[in-house]
Amino acid sequence: MTKLTKGRVVISPNFKETIDLAQKVYAKHQADGLDSLLNDLDGDDWAVSGPLITPSLELHNQAEEMTRKAEDLYRQRDAKFASVKSALITSKNLLKGRFSKTPKRLGDWGFEIDDTPPVKKTKPAQ
């Protein structure tokens, strides 16, 4: 004797997969017309939700393109900034050596000097 299962219906958390599913459901609903079982929905209406699929997908595609552009801009920024950061670290080291007795003088160049004693790490009680 086989056991009948109720089955699981999965709606992906992935936007693209979900919008693709919504397009299929909406297409079937439209094809069925007045005989569509989805005309009996309580609280939701495909006549309202269905037309929102295309603009939602367009906005998603625009956002994805902006994400790609942002990643490219960050790569360009990081490539240019590498030289700046290297010069900054080298300058700090030179000035720290030059003013080893008076490190607060590095403040003249905009560096913040923390002269508080470091906090000792304590071992947790066992």
Per-residue model confidence as pLDDT tens digits over 10-24: 999 999 999 999 999
69/76 Cα distance (integer angstroms): 11
Q: Are 50 and 29 in contact (CB under 8 A)?
A: yes
Sketch the domain layout of the chain as residue ranges.
15-109
Q: What is the pLDDT of residues 65-91, one digit of tens each?
A: 999 999 999 999 999 999 999 999 999
Alpha helices in the chain (DSSP H): 15-32, 46-49, 53-98
What number of other Cβ atoms are within 10 A of residue 126's Cβ?
Answer: 3
Q: 3-state DSSP call for residue 124?
A: coil
